[in-house]
Amino acid sequence: MIYMFLADGFEEIEALCPLDLLRRVGAPIKTVAVGGSLLVTGSHGITVKADMMEDELTDEAPQMIILPGGMPGTKNLDNSAIVIRAIENSISVGAYIAAICAAPSVLGKRGVLRGKEAICFPGFEEYLVGAKISDKRVVRDDKIITAAGMGVALDFGLELVSALCGKEKAEELRKAVLAD
């Protein structure tokens, strides 16, 4: 299973674009509400209904976890003990961990990016502790995928598809959604 964490103040495009792309290829993904309600409001006032609450999450090995950025969404993810446990669990089972915009800071503060090439929204680099800051818009370094921000949400989503389903499937999807 793939879990995408949504906290109040998440950046809508950074979540919904990759979510849409993953669902188009039939990837098993669930959105997880961080906080007290299945209804989660993004940083631009768009409310979505998550598939499940964070306290419903089990310690079963995920295939991937995804952290969208946005403010204060990233801070809310950073303050969630369940999100932090999911990150630790993902590391221990060798699952993919993906974060975009400000959200790579959640990983960086915990040393997850140490020795990895990574990118984030400009101004959050100081939180990418031990990372090699990239000039690419989307970076995959082994099982860690990071991206710069909302403007690269489509490329981020396609990189997630590539990681899970292969490059060929991602290219097929890129063509199908007219992303060329």
Residue showing tokens 């299945």: 38
Q: Active-site residues: which are they?
A: 101
Tokens 């590539």 belong to 162
Alpha helices, DSSP H, located in 60-112: 73-78, 81-93, 104-108
Gyration radius of the chain over CA positions: 15
Give the count of beta carbons closer than 10 Å to the beta carbon of residue 105. Answer: 26
Q: Is the peptide bond before 68 cis (omega within 30 degrees of 0)?
A: no
- Count other C-beta atoms under 10 Å from residue 142's C-beta: 10
For CA atoms 42, 155, 171, 115, the dihedral sign is: negative
- Give me the DSSP letters along 128-154: STT-EE-SSSEEEETTEEEE--GGGHH
Instruction: Tell me the β-bridge partners of 97.
Output: 65, 144
Structure tokens at 128: 């990418």
